[in-house]
Amino acid sequence: MRIGLGYDVHKLVYNRHLILGGVIIPFNRGLLGHSDADVLTHAIMDSLLGASCLGDIGKYFPDQDERYKDVSSLSLLSKVLDLIRDNNYIIENIDSTIIAEKPKLSPYIKYMRANIARTLNIDISSISIKATTEEGLGFTGKGEGIAAQSICLLNKNLSALK
């Protein structure tokens, strides 16, 4: 049994789409980043890589590499799945929290869960995504950015070892 923790943060800017869990969220700003800047998916990837002791997303998808410019983070998540499967791990569950003052995210969470579950080829019941605010405190509370945290549980795929 392996537990991994992931965290990501990006600044909110104008003239970008806001993408969380592969869902385009209607909002007047989006997240700044080399890829689509999907903080939720980035945090999930880091939790999976951490649990399997494979490093972090910067190791595999550096922000200086033009191949990853504006790329969908769900496609990167699929590559992370290949890495953890190559190391004989299976995903038991993922629990994530998005930290954003605005916009309200509850109407979109079921779509985020479905995207993550489909990309990881696991049941949606293994994916928990929550959203919270910071009551006006800090950079997320002031609406300057959005953060996400994720924790996951992996197990060795014993049938693959036989």
The response to whether 149 counts as a known ligand-binding position is: no
CA-nearest of 54, 55, 57 to 39 is 57
3-state secondary structure of 62: coil
d(CA 43, CA 4): 10
Q: Which residues of 89-110 are buried (b: 16+ CB within 10 A; e: fewer)?
A: bebeebbbbbbbbebebeebbe
The response to whether 17 counts as a known ligand-binding position is: no
The response to whether 57 counts as a known ligand-binding position is: yes
The response to whether 65 counts as a known ligand-binding position is: yes
The response to whether 97 counts as a known ligand-binding position is: no
The response to whether 27 counts as a known ligand-binding position is: no
The response to whether 38 counts as a known ligand-binding position is: no
| DSSP-based helix, strand, coil % in the chain, nearest 5 | 35, 30, 35
The response to whether 56 counts as a known ligand-binding position is: yes
CA-nearest of 153, 131, 156, 152 to 44 is 152
The response to whether 42 counts as a known ligand-binding position is: yes
Known binding positions: 8-10, 34-35, 42, 56-58, 61-65, 132-135, 139, 142
Known binding positions for a divalent metal cation: 8, 10, 42
